[in-house]
């Protein structure tokens, strides 16, 4: 058969059987989640499939040997049921980078969410024990398994081995056909509304009025709850917060949007004062840190100026720098051999100290 021809009903049936019976895994392929299977497992399954059994009338089976299965699957590959992919092991650096991105996203989500009420100590201990046990299991599984990502293979042919083959063919589920047929029937029934019996038309009329009334009731309730909150907030100068049906406009289920019936909060002045104090402390700490940094920089500049003054005289003649307490050391003849100071060294040091002192007195 030429690969350009459309797939036959038998080939579609074989592809469906492979997809439902051969174990498939999910992974990322060019930033898309795809399903893939291993070639050797597909060949093994097809050798025990209904197409490898002799027919009732003594007909030869479609798959007799592994070579015949490989040829048939190569034909399916050319007809774009699946394509060959290359397995690339994921390095530890990539895994660490992914974990860092996930941690950053979790931190952002946690900061954006509201604070949840604290649970009892016993519940926390149980949850911690369960979570630690689950994390140990996950760590063991991760160490045992090796993560793989897929890339396009240059040689597109079916090979009996451990290569990965990504599914392109996606059979349409039966409930899609049922849903599509139901939509068509509903549209036809609405078009034939004038031909409906009078009783049915009255029932639909009352149902439409009830639905419109329910929507108007929801909108009116939202306006009333907002007005009640604003009035109480203005009267109490922002201390008392009362919401009727607080979950009415939240992203929750239908019944959850009407529960609880009300929510009340009283915010005292002490809490606002504490917040202001915390903000002031935070700002004061930042200013203190900045001042310390600037003082350090000024101190370094002063020290450099003193050194320059000591090394240069007023008339421009360079003088010998004095030996400070931090930089005092014995003079060395070489890197390995040391010698002790002599009398002449002490005399020179005393002369330098006197000159430095006289210079400071003359400047003052």
Inter-axis angle of helices 9-21 and 39-47, nearest 10: 110
Please report which helix (H) or strand (E) contains residue 281, including its range: helix 269-311
In this structure, what DSSP letter does residue 32 have?
S
Query: What is the per-residue pLDDT for 308?
Result: 47
b/e 280-308 (16+ beta carbons within 10 angstroms → b): eeeeeeeeeeeeeeeeeeeeeeeeeeeee
Taking the C-alpha atoms of residue 50 and residue 13, their distance in angstroms, rounded to an integer, is 11
The mean pLDDT value for 50-72 works out to 88
DSSP three-state, residue 193? helix
Query: What is the per-residue pLDDT for 76?
Result: 92
> What confidence tier does 59 reach under pLDDT thresholds 50, 70, 90?
confident
In this structure, what DSSP letter does residue 166 have?
E
- Work out the angle at residue 108's Cα, subtended by the Cα atoms of residues 103 and 114, and round it to the nearest 5 degrees: 125
- Cut 0.75: pTM above it: no
- Cβ contacts of residue 258 below 8 Å, gap of 6+? 245, 247, 248
Query: What is the per-residue pLDDT for 326?
Result: 46
Per residue in 219-272, pLDDT tens?
Answer: 999 999 999 999 999 998 888 888 998 888 888 888 888 888 888 888 876 655
* Measured CA distances, 296 to 226, 292, 301, 302, 306 (Å): 56, 6, 9, 10, 16
Q: Domains in the chain, ordered, with CATH?
A: 9-94+138-171 (1.10.10.10), 176-242 (no CATH)
Query: What is the per-residue pLDDT for 78?
Result: 92
Q: Look at residue 81 and tell me whether its pLDDT is greater than 90.
A: yes
């Amino acid at each position: 058969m030429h690969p350009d021809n459309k797939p036959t009903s038998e080939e579609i049936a074989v592809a469906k059987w492979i997809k439902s019976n051969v174990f498939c895994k999910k992974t990322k392929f060019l930033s898309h989640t795809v399903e893939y299977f291993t070639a050797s497992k597909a060949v093994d399954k097809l050798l025990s499939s209904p197409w490898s059994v002799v027919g009732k009338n003594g007909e030869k089976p479609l798959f007799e040997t592994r070579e015949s299965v490989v040829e048939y699957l190569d034909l399916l590959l050319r007809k774009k049921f699946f394509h060959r992919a290359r397995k690339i092991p994921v390095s530890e650096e990539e895994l660490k980078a992914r974990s860092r991105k996930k941690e950053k996203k979790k931190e952002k989500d946690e900061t954006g969410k509201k604070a949840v009420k604290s649970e009892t100590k016993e519940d926390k201990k149980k949850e911690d024990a369960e979570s630690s046990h689950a994390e140990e299991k996950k760590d063991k599984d991760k160490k045992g398994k090796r993560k793989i990502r897929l890339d396009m293979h240059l040689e597109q042919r079916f090979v009996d081995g451990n290569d990965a083959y990504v599914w392109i063919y996606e059979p349409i589920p039966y409930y899609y056909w049922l849903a599509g047929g139901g939509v068509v029937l509903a549209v036809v029934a609405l078009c034939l509304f004038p031909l409906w019996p009078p009783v049915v038309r009255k029932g639909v009329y009352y149902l439409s009025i009830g639905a419109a009334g329910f929507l108007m009731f929801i909108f009116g309730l939202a306006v009333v709850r907002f007005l009640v909150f604003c009035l109480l907030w203005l009267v109490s100068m922002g201390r008392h917060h009362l919401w009727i049906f607080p979950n009415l406009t939240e992203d929750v289920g239908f019944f959850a949007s009407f529960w609880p019936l009300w929510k009340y909060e009283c915010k005292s002045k002490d809490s606002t004062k504490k917040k202001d104090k915390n903000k002031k402390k935070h700002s004061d700490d930042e200013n203190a840190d900045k001042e310390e940094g600037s003082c350090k920089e000024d101190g370094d500049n002063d020290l450099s100026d003193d050194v320059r003054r000591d090394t240069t005289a007023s008339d421009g003649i360079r003088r010998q720098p004095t030996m400070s307490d931090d930089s005092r050391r014995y003079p060395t003849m070489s890197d390995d051999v040391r010698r002790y100071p002599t009398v002449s060294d002490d005399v020179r040091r005393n002369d330098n100290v006197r000159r430095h002192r006289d210079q400071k007195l003359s400047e003052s």
